[in-house]
Structure 1
Amino acid sequence: MNYNLESIRQKMKESGIDAYLIPITDPHLGEYVPDHWRIIRWLTGFTGSAANVVITHNFAGLWTDSRYFIQAENQLKGSGFEMVKLKIPHTPEYIEWLVANLKEGSTIATDGRIIPVSIVRLMERSFTRKRIGLETDVDLISSLWKNRELMPREKAFEHHLKYAGLSRIEKITLIRSRMQEMGAAYHIITSLDDIAWLLNIRGGDVKFSPLLTAFAIIGMNDIFLFVNRIKIPDSLGKKLEDDDITIMQYEEVSNELGKLEKGKGIIINPGTTSATLYKSIPEGVDIIEEISIPTRMKAIKNDVEIENIRQVMIKDGLALTKFFYWLEKSLGKIKITEISAADKLLEFRTQQEGCVGPSFATIAGYNEHGASPHYCATPETDVELKPEGIFLLDSGGQYYGGTTDTTRTVCLGTPTQQQKTDFTLALKGTINLALAKFPLGTRGYQIEMLARKALWDHGMNYGHGTGHGVGYFLNVHEGPQTIGTAASGDMKTILEPGMLISDEPAIYREGEYGFRTENLVLCIKDKNTEYGQFLKFETVTLCYIDTSLIEHELISDEETKWLNDYHELVYNILSQMLPEEIKNWLKKKTQAI
């Protein structure tokens, strides 16, 4: 029995609540949160990064997407929670489910600190017909969660100008100019990565992402940073104050919002502003709802960032090359497991100058574990790698000069015909997206079919998006740009020069294996013709692709040329910095097909 679940139900009964909603996020509504806010993990055992939980008196469900179907099925066993698969035909989203299953006049409750005002509005509209009430000030968790992790107290540090490319003052000036154009006197920044980028500071509050837990309010003449003051070293605090940034306690943000001048405009992002914070804004303040200005600005890397990214990709490519060389030479001679392989890769990566750690939990999936897109080995699931089968490795590093994310799938023995077909069809998607040329003004969803066509032609598909934005010594998943379906992406955001995006088509066979080849691509200018400016992608990831898995009859001449050119580039750049024996090995791995 899940005693925490039953305790929540008892509290619901006492408070007259028919359903309780728990999002997976925190007051900043990001994908990556401190352990203090990992409520769903504490309650259900599910460790993924995307989920919503609904609890009624006779049902407990966890909604998640296809990246986590296999993982959730395993982790929810015995928890009292049922997995509900998102984006599957005839399966309702949690709001639809609530409307369909609750009686007229029921009451739904949630903690407004961790749910965006945009979702609250959607629920209120959906619940009107059945007169379902919604309470957004109900915290049923804090009193039940014993030994809850404290909020982190890691010190913040400066991200130096040689990496950032623009100073705080320059970024603030650009943002104020945009605020003026939008008729705003204030702009509240709630996303941790936006604040870190804006102020050129980083922290240690979130595992794998160098973030500082804080809010910020930008005015036309002042800036307030709301943060636990103990996290700001005196030297950094003085620099911030010299730049006219006032440091206030984290908890004071609502009070300060309440002091905003009526008749003035404030920019908020309803998708990243909590219902509780939104309520703090006084009536009479003109609310301008838009994506945060820093969100759009940081998505377009500046020239300094781009040059640093290219250098970081070389370092990351060296680490990956050394790892795969070690794996091939050591397999069958020493015991290697999924966990020890991930540890060895981290060892190679942190030997590179400027690497401070991984950018996410390494996905090292052997055989059937590779079929779970976000699999993370644990002591209970860890298996030994043998000189046979398929090994999928999705990993990344955090460097002062950028964030990396690379997936390679290698065959540890002799591939079957089915494996070669599957690998090649997915690889064709990676290549064809990399080859894309498109006019300025194109959205990611408009070119996604290039990545899926080869798979679709064979009646195959994958459930996750094809590409996500990547931060700069920030979150490995960053918006607003995506390459996904129209339903899952931001319909407004166009692809622009300077955007860094992943390119990761895949195919998964549950119980057997997964294939994914992921590169990071940089959007750059192509030709300017009488039809306008065209754009293309530059593949910046530098790591060989296992050609033993390629079915040559399925790959076109154009795709073959791309692969051979790519391998020539990988070898020419990396070989200069490799020991002779690894250099010779890489030469064979990158030889033309």
Structure 2
Amino acid sequence: MNIPERLAKLRALMEEKGIDAYVVPTADFHQSEYVGEHFKARKFITGFSGSAGTAVITKTEARLWTDGRYFIQAAAQLEGTTVELMKMGEPGVPTLEAYLEEALPEGGALGFDGRVVAMGEGQGYEAIAAAKNGKVVYDYDLIDEVWEDRPVLSEEPAFALELKYTGEAVADKLGRIREEMKKCGATTHVLTTLDDICWTLNIRGNDIEFFPLVLSYAIIKMDKVDLYINEAKLSDEIKADFAKDGIVLHPYNDIYEDIKNVCKDEVLLIDPGKLNYALYNNIPEGVAKVEQRNPAVLFKAMKNSVEIENIRKAQIKDSVAHVKFMKWLKENVGKETITEISASEKLDEFRAEQGNFIRPSFEPISSFGEHGAIVHYTSSPETDVELKEGNLFLTDTGAGFYEGSTDVTRTYALGEVPQIMKDHFTLVAISNLQLASAKFLYGTTGMTLDMLARKPFWDRNLNFNHGTGHGVGYLLNIHEGPTGFRWQFRAGEITPFEEGMIITDEPGIYIEGSHGIRLENELLTQKGELNEYGQFMYFEPITFIPMDLDAINPEIMTAEDKKLLNDYHKTVFEKVSPYLNEEETEWLKKYTREV
């Protein structure tokens, strides 16, 4: 079936069930940002493959809301599907909620699969339906009835992450979580987010492509943990370790029935942004609830000393791999056939040479020329193009090492490139370095600091349509809360920076039909001087890869900009050169020279 045929079949089911509008988000049962193949319902029904977006299908219309990272990609993929693109945040574009308020008829039924909609979202849909004297219908997965060859749930095995990588035992993590439960008066904590569960239990898996997570739910009590998981994923050794920590195993889907039997005297700690709507509605009436962020969210964002030591090693490995790749790319483009896909594969070859490389930490963005303007472009056999001199090549990729995950973007000039590309590249470099050099008082959030990155663009009436940075998980989600760099308010991303947080610094510029540039380093949040004004903080760059001097225009840099770049490149040489041979060292010396 093509997309219009799928939509027609879905509308027939909606008619049969009495549903007037049906919402299809990008989510699994755990509110994951990236999902396994089984859960890609929104992609199936619209054709749009990006990682973020929500579709609404009514009896006469189909619309897709997505953010600025995906406008170009979505426009191309939705062509001919009858699905209309709704560019989130753009003037004149209604929010999804505003559209539903208008489109839902009086007394109408608003439908969705309650397992893939967060509790808070579901309550918002309830309010929209109630305002029209209608109702929500959340117990049908209509996409499943249309999707005849839907992939099955992953059955990949889990693996334990050793203490030498985690730096904290499961018992200690559970102890910290239980202390937070006591503080808020909770006796039971219902946990559905995969990264929080995997972090707490020191396990990883392979249930989502690129993200080493395990499909599971957990109910943490003061004396035990009920873990809902496909037991076949677990080795005897993991089961034995779980037993020592009071972790009791149950079949994956049993939580929906078990939650109905929670005692009335329990007090449940739940995260309204993470718990799914169906599970929430299975909690018996009268059970007291404390609604706040999962304690593990902040705990796992503040890396411990063992994790930091490991992450430094992972960053050095990835930096060495990138330097080798950059040299290879510069010396071979135009001499041999190199494409977006083969270049990405070559970078991973260099990573594998460093040891303890598991796999890429997210779907690689490997984009040449005008493809670079598509912020989250994914090359495919249909779109793969050859890299040629005279334009820019952008690579935004990451590595999953046992020592941690990396997320790095570099843009390279292939041969001589036009002056406008050099000017844009230099602007991005200035932005990256200015943000990385920030000193700030404790309590500062990413909303404040984002201005440092935006100012060079806004001074020139330019902008980039994505956040400037995000937290990074340790072999977990590559986008990790609870903080980030962005100028617009977003609930949940206004947490102040804490010592040990790792965040990306990735400004960019995107010229549709021509080129895209992004430069991304990871930063470690550190404590600085404590004085009468308070606790000062700063960022320590932990990514050490040259910013391509072939694309730098020193004439538009201030003395301060040049010093920041020169100081960074001096550190790059000091950190990476010990791992290179003589020829590579000489080459790196050229690309870290002072400007």
TM over 0.5: yes
CA distance in 2 between partners of 1:41 and 1:580 (Å): 49
Per-residue deviation, 1:78: 2.2
Give 1:345's aligned residue: 347
CA distance in 2 between partners of 1:143 and 1:431 (Å): 51
Deviations 1:418-452 (A, max 9, x none): 11221122221111110111111111111111110
Give 1:237's aligned residue: 239
Q: Do structure 1's residue 144 and structure 2's residue 138 form an aligned pair?
A: no
Deviations 1:169-214 (A, max 9, x none): 1111111111111111011111101111100001111100110000
Q: Secondary structure at the match of 1:134?
A: strand
Per-residue deviation, 1:485: 2.5
Structure 1: which amino acid aligns with 2:588?
L
Give 1:372's aligned residue: 374
Distance 1:289-1:200 versus aligned 2 partners, 3 A rule: same
Structure 1, 28-37 or 555-564: larger mean CA deviation: 555-564
CA distance in 2 between partners of 1:279 and 1:582 (Å): 60
CA distance in 2 between partners of 1:431 and 1:444 (Å): 16
Structure 1, 31-40 or 158-167: larger mean CA deviation: 31-40
CA distance in 2 between partners of 1:282 and 1:103 (Å): 31
Q: Do structure 1's residue 117 and structure 2's residue 115 form an aligned pair?
A: no
CA distance in 2 between partners of 1:123 and 1:443 (Å): 31
Whether the 8 Å CA contact 1:69–1:85 is kept in 2: the answer is yes
Whether the 8 Å CA contact 1:24–1:49 is kept in 2: the answer is yes
Of 193, 218, 221, the residue aligned with 1:219 is: 221
Distance 1:343-1:489 versus aligned 2 partners, 3 A rule: farther
CA distance in 1 between partners of 2:498 and 2:46 (Å): 40
The total of aligned residue pairs comes to: 593
Structure 1 unmatched runs, 5+ = none
Q: Secondary structure at the match of 2:123?
A: helix
Of 311, 314, 317, the residue aligned with 1:315 is: 317
Deviations 1:247-286 (A, max 9, x none): 1111111222222221321111111111100012122221
Structure 1, 97-106 or 378-387: larger mean CA deviation: 97-106
Structure 2: which amino acid aligns with 1:343?
E
Structure 2: which amino acid aligns with 1:157?
F
Structure 1: which amino acid aligns with 2:81?
S
Identity of aligned residues (%): 43
Scaled by the length of structure 2, the TM-score of the pair is 0.98
Q: Secondary structure at the match of 1:378?
A: coil
Of 460, 463, 467, the residue aligned with 1:461 is: 463
CA distance in 1 between partners of 2:40 and 2:451 (Å): 35
Q: Secondary structure at the match of 2:144?
A: coil
CA distance in 2 between partners of 1:170 and 1:357 (Å): 29
Whether the 8 Å CA contact 1:497–1:523 is kept in 2: the answer is yes
Give 2:438's aligned residue: 436
Per-residue deviation, 1:489: 5.1
Whether the 8 Å CA contact 1:483–1:489 is kept in 2: the answer is no
Deviations 1:308-340 (A, max 9, x none): 111111000111111111111111111001011
Give 2:173's aligned residue: 171
Structure-to-structure mapping, 1:297-446, within 5 angstroms = 297-446=299-448
Q: Secondary structure at the match of 2:382?
A: coil
Per-residue deviation, 1:17: 1.4
CA distance in 1 between partners of 2:243 and 2:405 (Å): 29
Of 38, 63, 72, the residue aligned with 1:70 is: 72
CA distance in 2 between partners of 1:211 and 1:194 (Å): 10
CA distance in 2 between partners of 1:440 and 1:454 (Å): 25
CA distance in 1 between partners of 2:448 and 2:133 (Å): 39
Whether the 8 Å CA contact 2:65–2:86 is kept in 1: the answer is yes
Whether the 8 Å CA contact 2:100–2:128 is kept in 1: the answer is no
Per-residue deviation, 1:492: 4.4
- Structure 1 stretches of at least 4 aligned residues deviating more than 4 Å after TM superposition: none
Per-residue deviation, 1:534: 1.1
Whether the 8 Å CA contact 2:413–2:551 is kept in 1: the answer is yes
Per-residue deviation, 1:127: 3.9
CA distance in 1 between partners of 2:239 and 2:108 (Å): 49
Per-residue deviation, 1:133: 2.5
Scaled by the length of structure 1, the TM-score of the pair is 0.98
CA distance in 2 between partners of 1:270 and 1:564 (Å): 46
Structure 2: which amino acid aligns with 1:194?
D
Structure-to-structure mapping, 1:556-571, within 5 angstroms = 556-571=558-573
Q: Do structure 1's residue 532 and structure 2's residue 534 form an aligned pair?
A: yes
Whether the 8 Å CA contact 1:440–1:495 is kept in 2: the answer is yes
Structure-to-structure mapping, 1:217-296, within 5 angstroms = 217-296=219-298
Give 2:517's aligned residue: 515
